[in-house]
Structure 1
Amino acid sequence: MPRVWPSVWTALVDDAAVFPPGDLPLAEALAAHREHRASPYGDLLGTFVLRDTDLPGVRGLEHPVSVVVTGGAGQIAGPLGLAARLGLSLGGVELALRDLDDLPQNARRVVAAVEAAQAEGLLDEDTPVHVEVPGDLTAGWLRAADELAAVELHLKFRTGGTETHQFPSEDQLASRIDAALDRETPFKATAGLHHAVRHTGADGAEHHGFLNVLLATRHAFDGAGHEDVVATLADRDPASVVAAAAAADLTGARRWFTSFGSCSVREPLADLQQLGLL
């Protein structure tokens, strides 16, 4: 009988091996990605994430890629055209708002650039575009999120990094999840989510767990209060988190928390196996 891969974990991890702290050279990352895809756990993978500046080095990749635009809104069309000429399957586009002094206006520029790319045939309307809105949840942040939600662009939340200040608190992340759900906006996460359950990392930072985030999304969608969502994100007890996961419809939560980028594929896989979830 063929293996049935649980839908809740399908395409959960976007392979971001070329990004810190992994920093694999592109050729090595591509070779590893092909091996991951061919393995019994290949369904765990979503897209291969790379910078737009990496595109010239990619040849013959049959799996979808997410292109991280390293410039501003005006730099979207060029990489998309190059990806098309290279015959790559575009699974997503990611970029960050850059003008911190006027996030709503920056969001409008991104919307205009995305719509122009769609009109030119460079971007399918159903290809997700994830936009990172940096900074605290100010009125400007929320207005920028409104601009993106109005045209069904997705959000991107930074959940870690190479420095401790890049890791949002449980309260900050809960507020972002609430903001996304209030606008019926799917989101992905990036950085720091190598493991399933919240913990203190070897780097001294407080790392969120991807299973905590999935549970928190489910609870928030079901109407849980902010403090309950914060508590779900803060739970460090693997047995408690797994028990809560067993009682929740996490597949439904994937409608909103679509995936997370990780420079490691094997670490999330190992946690799912060790916790008895695979």
Structure 2
Amino acid sequence: MSGLPTGGVIPELFRGLFDDAAVFPPGNLPVAGAVPAHRAHRTAWYSDAVGPLLCGAGRLGELAAAVGTGSAAETGGGPLRVGLVLPGGSTELAPALAAAAPFETAGVELATRDAAEAVAELDRLLPPDIPAAIEVPRELLRGDGLDAVLDILVDSPYRAKFRTGGLVAEAFPDEAELAAFLTGCAQRGLPYKCTAGLHNAVRHTDPETGFEHHGFLNVLLAAQETDPAAAAAVLAERDGGILAKAVHALTDRQVTVIRNSFTAFGTCSIAEPLGDLAALGLLSSPSPLHQEDR
């Protein structure tokens, strides 16, 4: 990546990549604590790397109360940027949009078992200036199901969303499954975001749980691939030095292709992925990165 910035400037490859999912498992930060923590992220030197604060539909009341108790200085002089996560599907869309009125709605993430129905409801209810991502359960994306869903989404204005981890081993897709999703999107020019399990830069086995975690650097580099075998090989790489070297070699055009595809992922920690990038020499920090309470 030519001219990798120094002195705390966030490289284009990582801008807006980390959506703040602090209130979700395994972080589970209380909403009252997540709001000031997010405000701090948004005013820190690394703010260009940070996306909106993600909040589930059922916790928007808590969020409004937490924001309402803050001082003018804490609110930063403007509305909180919030990404609405709707695990209950399109029935949650209208009430969530109404409950989010005090905030700046940065996007909607809608889970569904029927992609066509979700597209229709988003077309009907979502203001045109608010982006959305549609998540279909992984079991429905196997075999011909993946092509069917991606074909529906590519004809819509909405991104795909893919779950890359969770609280049990079965929640983590293997390299072949994730590669099929990434390359299916790449072949169609369909953007997507990911969620869960991507806190660290490099693929690894968690020493406490034994879960196989994908690395967000692996996913970024695999996002430019259209061949499933090539993408799976990148996803399987466990050597951070090799991945860092590949990032340094990216051209500006490749960075654009990658980020037009892989737009963001939810992470319950902001400091952890930034710390990994700094350790790999991909980010220059002007001040120490502290692991926030999670």
The two structures have a TM-score, normalised by structure 2, of 0.84
Distance 1:69 1:81 in 2: 13
1:8 to 2:13 alignment: yes
Residue ranges of structure 1 left out of the alignment (5+ in a row): 99-105
Q: 2:109 aligns with which of 94, 109, 130?
A: 94
Give yes or no for contact 2:88–2:112 (8 Å, CA) kept in 1: no
Provide Cα deviations, 1:169-225, integer angstroms capped at 9, x if missing partner: 01100000011122221000100001111111131011100000000012x1xx5x3
Query: Post-superposition shift, 1:3?
Result: 5.8
Q: 2:161 aligns with which of 131, 156, 159?
A: 156
Higher relative contact order (CA 8 A, sep 6+): 2
Residues 204 and 89 of structure 1: CA distance in aligned 2, closer, same or farther (over 3 Å): same
1:197 to 2:202 alignment: yes
What pairs with 1:160-239 in structure 2 (closer than 5 Å)?
160-202=165-207, 203-218=209-224, 220=225, 223=226, 225-239=227-241
Q: 1:23 aligns with which of 25, 28, 41?
A: 28
Distance 2:234 2:145 in 1: 27
Q: Which residue is equivalent to 1:103?
A: none
Give yes or no for contact 2:9–2:46 (8 Å, CA) kept in 1: no
Give the stretch that moved more between structures: 3-12 or 75-84. 3-12
Give the stretch that moved more between structures: 57-66 or 160-169. 57-66
Distance 1:6 1:45 in 2: 12
Distance 1:148 1:240 in 2: 34
Query: Post-superposition shift, 1:74?
Result: 2.4
1:142 to 2:147 alignment: yes
Q: Which residue is equivalent to 1:63?
A: 80
Q: Which residue is equivalent to 2:288?
A: none
Alignment length, in residue pairs? Answer: 260
Provide Cα deviations, 1:222-265, integer angstroms capped at 9, x if missing partner: x5x32111110000011111111111233431111001100011
Distance 1:206 1:253 in 2: 23
Residue ranges of structure 2 left out of the alignment (5+ in a row): 1-6, 68-74, 284-294
Give yes or no for contact 1:186–1:255 (8 Å, CA) kept in 2: yes
The secondary structure found in structure 1 opposite 2:223 is: helix
Q: Which residue is equivalent to 2:117?
A: 109
1:129 to 2:146 alignment: no
Q: CA RMSD in A?
A: 1.7
